[in-house]
Amino acid sequence: MLETAVQLLAVGLLWGVTNPFIRLGSQGIESVKDTGSKWRNLLLEVCTVGSRWRYWIPFGLNQCGSALYVWTLQSASITVAVPVANSLSFAFTAITGYALGEKLPGKKVILGTFLICCGSTLMIYDKLVQEQKQENHSIPFQ
């Protein structure tokens, strides 16, 4: 379970840290001129974002986090994996955004994030305790 917890921490880190960089890398897409054709606009937007390494590197790392998440789901309970990965992602996004000069979320958001992280920690702890009890109660065949 400890390995799963570390994997979920890595997923939250990859998702959370890359979100502000993806946002920065995609800035300016709203300034693509409206040509009247939605297909031409789509092509211009794809070319605008597609030519930016500052978008693609964080996006690639974010997708590595998604691949790790799917890999982790093989050994993790989905009822634990989803809230843990998402709450950590949110926390890392807020921290990274603040480090990049974005506005710090309000007190209620910070408190909510803290409580979700505490709840996720308790869920992991409960799973560890349950696994320990199962190991102690199992009797090997002789």
User: How much is the pLDDT for 67?
Assistant: 96
DSSP-assigned letter for residue 76:
S
Q: What are phi and psi of 78, to 5 degrees?
A: -65, -25
User: How much is the pLDDT for 59?
Assistant: 93
Domain limits of the chain?
2-137
In b/e form, how buried is each residue of 44-63, taking b as 16+ CB within 10 angstroms? beeebbeebeebeebbebbe
User: How much is the pLDDT for 48?
Assistant: 76
Tens of pLDDT, residues 66-88: 999 999 999 888 888 888 888 88
User: How much is the pLDDT for 138?
Assistant: 61
User: How much is the pLDDT for 21?
Assistant: 93
pLDDT surpassing 60 at residue 142:
no
- How far CA 138 is from CA of 69, 94, 99, 131, in Å, comes to 30, 43, 49, 11
Helix (H) or strand (E) holding 138: none
Helix (H) or strand (E) holding 73: none
